[in-house]
Amino acid sequence: MRESADNRLLLHLVTDRSLSLGRSLVEVVAEAVAGGVTCVQLREKTCSTREFLGEALALKALLQPLGLPLIINDRVDIALAVGADGVHLGQSDMPISHARRLLGPDYLIGISAESVEDAIAAEQQGADYIGISPVFSTPTKTDTASALGLEGVRQIRELVRVPLVGIGGINQANAHQVLAAGADGVAVVSAIMAAESPQLAAEAIRVSWGNRPGGRRRF
């Protein structure tokens, strides 16, 4: 993983256009970034490749000047086409071995782990970070395993050394608990995507953890 990537994983926005209340994706992301999002994962499961590419190019143009990473969910080809910073792969996406061969060493590869075993395997296979999914139960994704809870985060933290990002049902009320349990960052979908003000929603999460445990990082 590249230098100082930890900081960049702190508040991860995972996109879902279906929640954006009719606003364009780039509009929501621009607001969220103004509110303190440190990393954006483009996850769009239902659009065409050309549309996906268009969204990725728009986000790249927004994020690159700000030095914020763009991660592409699932689609290694889109990541390569736009020169993104990484990909995020679920357990039914391309295996990390194939993805690393196509992407080379410089792209971040995040892996979703739905269990302690997944997390250990992902680290062994060279994941740059692990998404613990879901921490809490969530209405956004209906195909996920049962919630791992804060105890799951703690267990995984004890067993793996790569950065951990919690995802699933995380909002301003519980984000600090996920960090306190050992995660290096949290990933948020609906709490920002569906907020009337994505900027205020992001700020509220940033404020909520105050002087959080593990505050050795620059935020």
Query: Per rule CB under 8 A, is residue 8 in the interface with a copy of itself?
Result: no
Catalytic residue among 60, 112, 133, 206: 112
Angle, to 10 degrees, between the axis of helix 149-159 and the axis of helix 116-124? Answer: 30
Q: Annotated catalytic residue: which of 43, 60, 75, 100?
A: 43
Contact between 145 and a copy of itself by CB under 8 A: the answer reads no
Q: In this complex, which beta carbon is closest to a copy of itself, that of residue 28 or of residue 72?
A: 72
Q: In 3D, which of 48, 24, 32 has the Cα closest to residue 189? A: 32
Q: Residue 106 or residue 196: which is nearer to a copy of itself going by CB?
A: 106
Of positions 2, 18, 24, 95, contacts a copy of itself by CB under 8 A: 95
CB of 115 to a copy of itself, least distance (A): 17
**Smallest distance, a copy of itself to C-beta of residue 60, A:** 13
Q: What is the DSSP string of the chain?
A: --TTHHHHTSEEEE--GGGSTT--HHHHHHHHHHTT--EEEE--SSS-HHHHHHHHHHHHHHHGGGT--EEEES-HHHHHHHT-SEEEE-TTS--HHHHHHHH-SSSEEEEEESSHHHHHHHHHTT-SEEEE--SS--SS-SS-----HHHHHHHHHHH--S-EEEESS--TTTHHHHHHTT-SEEEESHHHHTSS-HHHHHHHHHHHTSS-TTTTS--
Identify whether 43 is a catalytic site residue. yes
**Catalytic residue of the set 60, 100, 141, 206:** 141
By CB under 8 A, residue 102 contacts a copy of itself: yes
The residue count for binding a copy of itself (CB under 8 A) is 19
Catalytic status, residue 141: yes
Q: Which residue's CB is nearer to a copy of itself, number 2 or number 101? A: 101
For a copy of itself, the binding residues in 34-93 under the rule CB under 8 A are: 48-51, 53, 74-77, 80-81, 91-93
| Interacting residues with a copy of itself (CB under 8 A) | 48-51, 53, 74-77, 80-81, 91-95, 98, 101-102
Q: Which residues are catalytic?
A: 43, 112, 141
